[in-house]
């Protein structure tokens, strides 16, 4: 009987002891039950905001990293779905924090440390954490008006300028307290246990919603505006070409007689990267609430559901209440719809404008050169050639004396804004070379070497290589594609001319497309200058090879068929590229 009593007493004592020790203390060997942060850690873990660091530890004194902060806030919001977009080179798709980073960036809570880096392992300071929490609060449209004078802290002067407002708010809201009665330690580490305590306090704050409706109104472009996005130099070039004043094979240099001195300077590759970029449009609107998180939206449909495929810059504040955003890479002859939305209440009306028709669509791809859309013009049958399907240009990765090599932003523009799925490299020198990055941002990389150009591609090994190129560039399932050689002139020009012939584009426009390379980072080009390949002889030889073909288009089709391209593939290509 006494033995049984002792067993029962021991069991009761064990239960009492277990009850006296919080469960989290048993779960984390480095969190003592009487530690100041123990209740906060228990709360954060119970809520699912924070986890341990492994091996039964919580690591309360470790510093929070940027990845940790966004992950915790993401969990607090219920782990919302966020589509992975490889914007940051240092955020892998399979990283535990990848979805949280995408979410935090889309919500305007935490941005990258640069255009291409997020720095997930960077340590977070107390003032940085305050700024993140303030943006997180505002993203939910909570008022963040609670402020306090930081003058009571002897180190208030060390708070970074960008963080003064955030620290004042965080202290005023009771989220962050001093490390002592007189010090704030804004540059000190934000530890895991401190963050757990802040989360516990945060859930106890009764924030008020902002009930004001923001008033936003478009200013420019105005409804119905028609804007020419072709560069001024390109427009003069095209206009001169249309006059036909220099359509003289005996004097190709006359092509450039019309250029004034200030323009001709652009065409010397020693004086800059050239003028192959289009004109951007700077959108402006008013907003009466500077605290709003605004987002610029542009679409090809009034319901704003069709992606515009343009390159959108950041929103900037010009003057009180006036904001702007610069956008480029518009299609020509296209109607667009735009608006500005806020994170809570109040969106601008949808406004529309159109871009002027043009025979050329220039493109800006940061670090690149001579990039154009093969579409945009009208063929001999009056059908418009689809834009956004086939792009041509110069090398995108070789950094040498020519100076063109895509920046990371340039790669993103090509992959995301222009939607390129396949990059076709025509350079024979790329075979086996280690200078290329290969596949980036989901863009497939195909090397189809084209050593020959113009006349030599019509027979022998040149024709065999053209067959391999056609197999790729006529495959609409690979679109949009970007094909290039080194300068984007002759090897690229040969392939472009063949595609343009198959589409029934006028010879005048084919010649113009070649000559427009002059506006890039390269020497002056003229269709009639035979130094880089006799282009007139190319068309004469093509006609001689297929005397029964009545038009250049039929001659190009006969050539494609003769090297093994199927009629079905040619017809599918034309059906996709030509619009009524």
Is residue 251 assigned to a domain? no
pLDDT band (50, 70, 90) for residue 238:
confident
92: its two tokens: 């892998």
- Sign, CA dihedral 487-490-491-492, equals positive
pLDDT tens-digit map of 303-350:
888 889 999 998 888 887 899 999 999 999 999 999 998 866 668 899
CA 262 and chain centroid, separation: 33
Residue 252 clears pLDDT 60, i.e. is over it: no
pLDDT tens-digit map of 376-430:
989 989 999 999 999 999 888 865 555 567 888 888 899 999 999 999 999 877 7
pLDDT tens-digit map of 331-343:
999 999 999 988 6
- Residues 169 and 522: their CA atoms lie apart, in Å, by 55
Q: What is the pLDDT of residue 403?
A: 56
Pair 325, 381 in one domain: no
227: its two tokens: 């804007």
Pair 366, 392 in one domain: yes
Q: Residue 210: which region, alpha, beta or left (left: phi > 0; alpha: psi -120 to 50)?
A: beta
Number of domains in the chain: 3
Q: Identify whether the C-beta of residue 276 lies closer than 8 Å to the C-beta of residue 362.
A: yes
Total Cβ atoms within 10 A of residue 273: 17
Angle at the Cα of 487 (from 484 to 489), degrees rounded to 5? 80
Total Cβ atoms within 10 A of residue 566: 11
Angle at the Cα of 153 (from 152 to 155), degrees rounded to 5? 145
Which CATH number belongs to the domain containing residue 419 in this structure?
3.90.190.10
Pair 299, 426 in one domain: no
Using a 10 angstrom Cβ sphere, with 0-12 exposed, 13-18 middle and 19 or more buried, the burial of residue 180 is: exposed
Is residue 152 assigned to a domain? yes
Residue 220 clears pLDDT 90, i.e. is over it: yes
- Residues 523 and 540: their CA atoms lie apart, in Å, by 26
Pair 304, 369 in one domain: no
Distance (Å) of CA 370 to CA 65, 136, 458, 482, 533: 42, 42, 26, 12, 19
Pair 11, 144 in one domain: yes
Pair 193, 309 in one domain: no
CA dihedral 411, 414, 416, 422 (to 10 degrees): -100
Residue 326, domain extent: 216-226+278-355
CA dihedral 287, 291, 293, 296 (to 10 degrees): 20
Place of tokens 């493109």: 363
Pair 438, 304 in one domain: no
Residue 117 clears pLDDT 70, i.e. is over it: yes
Bond before 209 cis per omega within 30 degrees: no
> Is the pTM here over 0.75, yes or no?
no
Q: Identify whether the C-beta of residue 329 lies closer than 8 Å to the C-beta of residue 298.
A: no
Pair 180, 221 in one domain: no
- Give the contacts of 481 (CB within 8 A, at least 6 positions apart): 389, 390, 391, 420, 421, 422, 423, 424, 472, 473
- Residues 297 and 339: their CA atoms lie apart, in Å, by 5
**Helix (H), strand (E), coil (C) string for 311-372:** EEEEEEEEECCEEEEEEECCCCCCEEEEEEEECCCCCCCCEEEEECCCCCEECCCCCCCCCE
Pair 302, 419 in one domain: no
Domain boundary among 148, 168, 202: 202
Angle at the Cα of 386 (from 382 to 389), degrees rounded to 5? 155
Pair 371, 349 in one domain: no
Q: What is the pLDDT of residue 499?
A: 97
- Residues 343 and 325: their CA atoms lie apart, in Å, by 17
- Residues 135 and 112: their CA atoms lie apart, in Å, by 14
Say which residue, 383 or 526, is predicted with more confidence. 383
Pair 337, 427 in one domain: no
Helices (H), 21-97: 23-27, 38-46, 66-76
Is residue 210 assigned to a domain? no
Pair 282, 168 in one domain: no
Is residue 509 assigned to a domain? yes
338: its two tokens: 């735009």
Is residue 525 assigned to a domain? yes
Bond before 365 cis per omega within 30 degrees: no
pLDDT tens-digit map of 12-27:
444 333 444 455 554 7
Is residue 259 assigned to a domain? no
Q: Identify whether the C-beta of residue 417 lies closer than 8 Å to the C-beta of residue 434.
A: no
């Amino acid at each position: 009987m006494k033995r049984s009593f002792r067993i029962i007493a021991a069991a009761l004592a064990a239960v009492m002891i277990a009850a006296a020790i919080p469960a989290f203390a048993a779960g984390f060997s480095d969190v003592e039950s009487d530690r100041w942060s123990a209740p906060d850690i228990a709360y954060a873990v119970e809520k699912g905001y924070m986890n341990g660091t492994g091996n039964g530890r919580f690591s309360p004194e470790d510093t929070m990293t940027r990845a940790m902060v966004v992950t915790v806030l993401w969990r607090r919001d219920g782990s919302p779905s966020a589509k992975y977009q490889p914007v940051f080179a240092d955020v892998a798709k399979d990283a535990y924090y990848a979805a949280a980073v995408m979410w935090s960036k889309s919500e305007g809570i935490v941005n990258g440390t640069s255009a291409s880096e997020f720095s997930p392992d960077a340590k977070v300071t107390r003032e940085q954490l305050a700024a993140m929490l303030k943006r997180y609060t505002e993203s939910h449209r909570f008022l963040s008006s609670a402020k306090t004078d930081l003058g009571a802290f002897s180190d208030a002067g060390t708070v970074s300028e960008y963080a003064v407002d955030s620290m004042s708010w965080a202290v005023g809201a009771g989220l962050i307290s001093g490390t002592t009665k007189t010090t704030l330690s804004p540059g000190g580490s934000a530890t895991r246990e401190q963050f757990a305590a802040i989360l516990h306090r945060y859930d106890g704050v009764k924030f008020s919603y902002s009930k004001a409706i923001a008033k936003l109104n478009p200013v420019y472009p105005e409804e119905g505006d028609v804007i020419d996005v072709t560069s001024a130099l390109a427009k003069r070039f095209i206009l001169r070409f249309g006059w036909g004043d220099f359509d003289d094979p005996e004097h190709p240099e006359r092509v450039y007689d019309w250029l004034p001195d200030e323009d001709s300077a652009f065409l010397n590759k020693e004086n800059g990267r050239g003028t192959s970029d289009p004109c951007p449009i700077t959108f402006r609107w008013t907003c009466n609430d500077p605290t709003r998180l605004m987002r610029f939206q542009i679409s090809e449909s009034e319901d704003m559901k069709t992606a515009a495929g343009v390159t959108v810059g950041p929103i900037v504040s010009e003057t009180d209440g006036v904001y702007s955003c610069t956008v480029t890479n518009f299609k020509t002859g296209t109607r667009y719809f735009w608006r500005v939305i806020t994170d809570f209440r109040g969106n601008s009306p949808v406004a529309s404008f159109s871009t002027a028709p043009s025979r050329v669509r220039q493109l800006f791809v940061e670090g690149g050169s001579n990039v154009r859309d093969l579409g945009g013009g009208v063929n001999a049958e009056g059908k418009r050639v689809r834009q956004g399907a086939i792009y041509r240009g110069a090398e995108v990765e070789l950094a040498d004396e020519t100076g063109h090599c895509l920046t990371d932003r340039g790669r993103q523009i090509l992959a995301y804004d222009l939607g390129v799925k396949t990059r076709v490299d025509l350079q024979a020198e790329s075979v086996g070379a280690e200078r290329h990055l290969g596949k980036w941002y989901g863009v497939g990389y195909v090397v189809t070497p084209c050593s020959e150009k113009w006349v030599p591609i019509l027979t022998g090994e040149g024709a065999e290589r053209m067959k391999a190129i056609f197999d790729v560039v006529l495959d609409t399932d690979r679109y949009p594609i970007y094909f290039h050689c080194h300068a984007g002139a002759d090897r690229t020009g040969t392939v472009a001319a063949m595609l343009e012939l198959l589409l029934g584009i006028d010879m005048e426009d084919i010649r113009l497309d070649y000559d427009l390379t002059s506006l890039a980072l390269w020497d002056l080009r003229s269709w009639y200058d035979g130094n880089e390949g006799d282009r007139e002889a190319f068309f004469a030889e093509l006609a001689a090879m297929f005397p029964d073909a009545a038009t250049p288009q039929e001659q190009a089709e006969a050539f494609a068929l003769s090297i093994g391209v199927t009629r079905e593939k040619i017809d599918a290509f034309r059906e996709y590229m030509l619009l009524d």
